[in-house]
Amino acid sequence: MKKFIANQEIEVNDEGYLTDFSQWCKEVGKTLAEEHGIDMTDRHWEVIEYLQEKHKNEEALSIRGIKKSGVINVKDFYSLFPGGPLKKSTLIAGIPKPKSCI
């Protein structure tokens, strides 16, 4: 599925997650965040960078991982990305929805 975000045509899946990370840029992230009612701050971007780094290293993302990340505690993670913080933050980061579920 194609979607027009921040003046670019982006490839997304039916849940709205980017399917090609190379199409991601900060503008895209910002627009996706706005769609979910999130106004990005430096703190938000710090978390996004952490998630992208983990994804690059093929490390699985989980709430436990966030707890141990040293980047942010879980409470703050929830307040930055209210609702489903992992689902929303990964969507904004342009990486797949975590399947911390086996």
Binding status of residue 7 toward other proteins by CB under 8 A: no
Q: Report the residue number, 21 or 82, with the smaller CB distance to other proteins.
A: 82
Active site residue 101: yes
Which one of 4, 14, 39, 99 is in contact with other proteins (CB under 8 A)? 99
Of 1-9, 26-34, 45-53, 74-82, the segment contacting other proteins by CB under 8 A is 74-82
The one-letter code for the residue type at 77 is F
Strand 2-5 relative to strand 8-11: parallel, antiparallel, unpaired? Answer: antiparallel
Cα atoms found within 13 Å of the Cα of residue 73, Cβ hemisphere only: 2
Binding status of residue 56 toward other proteins by CB under 8 A: no
CB-based contact 1:13 (threshold 8 Å): yes
CA dihedral 69, 71, 77, 80 (to 10 degrees): -160
Catalogue the active-site residues.
Answer: 101
- Give contact residues for other proteins (rule: CB under 8 A): 62-65, 68, 74-75, 77-78, 82-85, 87, 99-102
